[in-house]
Structure formats: structure tokens, C-alpha cells
Amino acid sequence: MKLSRATLFVTLGSLLLGGVTAYAQQPLTGEADSARAAAIKECSDKAAKISGRDYQDWQITAYRSCMFDHGQPE
């Protein structure tokens, strides 16, 4: 009985993960693509001002925060 539940959960998890991955890999088009490109450039420039050698955690946190402020996924 436990083996069948585990198999069911693994199968459902795989299907859900596959669906999310397929959705995430769809290319952006038009206005959304240009807005994302602008956000990536701006956020990369802001994060680059923080020395990565000394503050790697701060650098990635600044980038993630900036992308969130623009309403974009990392």
C-alpha cells in the first residue's frame, strides 16, 4: 500500500514539474520581451556596482530585489 502511494506522489510531482518547466521555457514576445530585457539590463547594472568579490550575497540579493520591483522573474 505504501509503495503505491509513493509511486502516485512521484508520478504526480513529475507531471506537475514537467508542466511548470514547459510553461517557464516559452519565449516572451513583443512588449513583454522588451520590458524584461530593459529590467535585466538595469538590474545587472545596479548589481554590478556592488563588489562581487566581497559581497556576493548582497550582489545577487540586489539583482533579485530589482527584478522583483520590475515585476519580472529572476
17-34 burial, b if ≥16 CB within 10 A, otherwise e?
A: eeeeeeeeeeeeeeeeee
| 55 found inside a domain | yes
Give percent of the chain with pLDDT exceeding 90.
19
| 6 found inside a domain | yes
Specify the higher pLDDT residue, 18 or 64.
64
Q: Which domain holds residue 45?
A: 2-25+33-69
Mean pLDDT of the 3-26 span: 57
Q: Helix (H, G, I), strand (E, B), or coil: what is residue 52? A: coil
Which spans in the chain are helix H?
2-24, 30-48, 56-69
Mean pLDDT of the 20-44 span: 73
Residue 65 has pLDDT above 50, yes or no: yes
pLDDT (0 to 100) of residue 38 = 92
